[in-house]
Structure 1
Amino acid sequence: MSNLVFKVFLPLALAFIMFGMGLTLTLADFKRVISLPKATAIGLINQLILLPLFGLLVVSIFPLSPALTVGLLLLAFCPGGSTSNMISYLAKADVALSVTLTAISSLLTVITIPVFMGLAINKFMGDETSLNVLSIILPMFAIAIVPIAIGMFIKARSKTIAKSIEKILAPFSIGFFIFIIAAAIYSNRASFFTQLRQAAVPVLLLNVVMMAFGYFSARIFKVNVRQSFTIALETGIQNGTLAITIAASVLHNAEMATPGAVYGLLMFFTVVPVVLFARKASRGVKV
């Protein structure tokens, strides 16, 4: 039964979530990088380069097992997901910029995640695990890029149909998100709470410090307040469901999925004060 969950249901759940995200995207979201070059560049550099580097710093400070170390780095390698778009909306940040960053990073990480994971596994796990880069690229393409493309195609053909499907799918997406976290916890239930104690602080540090860094790095370059909060959220909020699915369903390592599960449990506690502060700070601010 557990093999069925990880080989079939877990990838399908993520594919449905990514399909739902595709229903919200258009080609204009990818072209927006031209009209928002500075904000987009800062967001992508933070997310694709500086966040993985900070992840390396975190795992060098905290003594984690090899699998937890690679699992935390996997989380840092992942793009922002549809969750970051939703939180940007709640925070009254720049949702268009959030969607743009999520869309572009989701495409780019199909390449960066396999490459970075290969390096991480080689450094921290050595001969314990061998990794064929294609073994990550192909599943990521199938469960992330293809569903997004199908969703975008449907929206391009009919916004009405896309909106109708999105309304039906939205409640299920939340259920899929909960299912993926629950599956990760259940698969590693014998040692999950021990690993939770080990991973909680590093995961929180990755989330909180990078949200703060995202905001202040944008403000230093004179990005407006709403876009700065968007960059903060995109920098600090990762697609934990993707991290769990890659760890559990592609790499077949339940312990490696633990940081993603811990992140899913703790993330909402850290973003609530950010959302409240962003809503207050953005009130009356001209963009």
Structure 2
Amino acid sequence: MDSALTEIGLPIALAIIMFGLGLDLTPADFRRVGKHPRAVLVALVCQLIVLPAICFGIVVLFDLPPFLGIGLLLLSASPGGTTANLFSHLFRGDVALNITLTAINSIIAIATLPVITNLAINYFDQSDNVTMPLAEVVKVFALILIPVGIGMLVRAKSPGFAQRMDKPVRIASAIILAVLVLGILAGEKDNVGEYLAEVGLAAVLFCSISLVIGFLVPRAFGVVESQAIASSFEIGVHNATLAIFVAENVLKEAEIAVPAAVYGLLMFPLAALWGMFVSKRVGAARESVAA
């Protein structure tokens, strides 16, 4: 990717997205954990343990090249984002739970993302080629948490402004992700066909399994439907911008960003199709009970 886009545009893009998340957050979102502990705990276990394990299985199954395998596992360790909240809103999920999960996941990822990524680097024996220094990890999450904190402060001081900015920031986030995806694919244009062939199906499978597990596992543990829908999108719609940022600015290897770029391209139609399916299914079940 062009160095100006990587070193200047990408950090600004990530900061805008995280600022938008902060505009949605209040201290009550963190306190909500105590009100819905089962929904939060089940979703977090799926996000932090189950999905990376499944992603590793996909990486092995498809025998992905080292950098693409590291990239997909990096993506699996990335938390949800504002796009997950949008899909949850569109398809009758508990958006408040989404916001809570995103906030908690973004903090926990400070520890889990570098651990999972370093395990992937060691598995592929690439530690001589890519490294994830602690100082760089701290910078990444400062770039995440500071804009979130500013957004929360703006929300507390001027809720009206925060509400007015909600839609523009969401639209900007989607445009930013699209630009990043196109920038990465353009930068790798000589290899993009090969990369799509190698990682495209793996990305589709990972996204699809994430969405389904995010719904079925909470339902199996007695979580209500609206919260299961929220969990599904939180687990299935990862923060691809964060994964791209880490790949480009911390690991400094454009090929590692490719799985997140491919995923970012495919997750929108996959999440929309899943949302239509699951909301229709839930609606039919409610009508059946009412009858």
TM-score for the superposition, normalised by structure 2: 0.93
Partner deviation per Cα, 1:142-177 (whole Å, 9 max, x = no partner) = 321111111011111120122233344333222212
Letter in 2 for 1:276: M
| TM-score (ref. length: structure 1) | 0.94
1:74-97 Cα distance to aligned partner (Å, 9 max, x none): 010100111110000011111111
Q: Which moved more, 1:44-53 or 1:180-189?
A: 180-189
Q: Secondary structure at the match of 1:128?
A: coil
Q: Is the 8 A contact 2:48 2:77 kept in 1?
A: yes
Query: Conserved in 2, the CA contact under 8 Å of 1:115 and 1:133?
Result: no
What SS does the aligned partner of 1:23 have?
Answer: helix
Tell me if the contact between 2:130 and 2:251 (Cα under 8 Å) persists in the aligned partners. no
Counterpart of 2:79? 79
Give the equivalent residue in structure 1 for 2:196: 196
3-state SS in 2 of match to 1:190: coil
Gaps of 5+ in 2: none
Match of 2:4 in 1: 4
Deviation of the 1:58 alpha carbon: 0.9
SS at match of 1:93: coil
Distance between the aligned counterparts of 2:228 and 2:78, measured in 1? 20
129 and 175 in structure 1: CA distance in 2 versus 1, 3 angstrom threshold: same
Give the conservation status (yes or no) of the 8 Å contact 2:130–2:252.
no
1:128 to partner: Cα distance = 3.4
* Mapping 1:119-138, distance limit 5 Å: 119-138=119-138
| Cross-structure match for 1:58 | 58
**CA distance in 2: counterparts of 1:95 and 1:229, whole angstroms:** 9
- C-alpha deviations, 1:24-66, integer Å up to 9, x for none? 1111111111000000000001001111111111111111110
2:192 counterpart of 1:161: no
Q: Distance in 1 between matches of 2:170 and 2:203?
A: 27
Work out the CA distance in 1 between the residues paired with 2:178 and 2:132: 29
Cα deviation for residue 277 of structure 1 reads 2.2
1:263 partnered with 2:263: yes
Structure 1 equivalent of residue 248 of structure 2: 248
- Number of matched residues? 286
C-alpha distance in 1, partners of 2:132/2:66? 18
The code of the aligned residue for 1:7 comes to E
Q: Deviations over 1:178-225 (max 9, x none)?
A: 111122212222212210111011111111112212211111111111
Counterpart position of 1:35: 35
1:125 to partner: Cα distance: 3.6
CA contact (8 A) 1:22 1:147 kept: yes
8 A contact 1:114–1:136 mirrored in 2: no
CA RMSD of aligned residues (A): 1.8
Please tell me the residue identity of whatever aligns with 1:18: M
Q: List alignment gaps of at least 5 residues for structure 1.
A: none
Are residue 69 (structure 1) and residue 69 (structure 2) matched?
yes
1:171 aligns with 2:166: no
Distance apart, 1:2 and its partner CA: 1.9
Q: Is the aligned partner of 1:226 residue 2:222?
A: no
Give how far 1:130 is off: 4.2
Q: How far apart are 1:7 and its partner, in Å?
A: 0.8
Aligned partners of 2:201, 2:116: CA distance in 1, in Å? Answer: 23
Does the C-alpha gap of structure 1 residues 168 and 230 become closer, same or farther in structure 2, counting only changes over 3 Å? closer
1: CA distance, partners of 2:167 / 2:222 = 37
Mapped to 2, the partners of 1:180 and 1:23 lie a distance apart of 23
CA contact (8 A) 2:22 2:149 kept: yes
The answer on whether the counterparts of 1:240 and 1:261 sit within 8 Å (CA) in structure 2 is yes
1:267 aligned partner, one-letter code: M
Worse overlay, 200-209 or 159-168: 159-168
> 1:180 is paired with a residue of what secondary structure?
helix
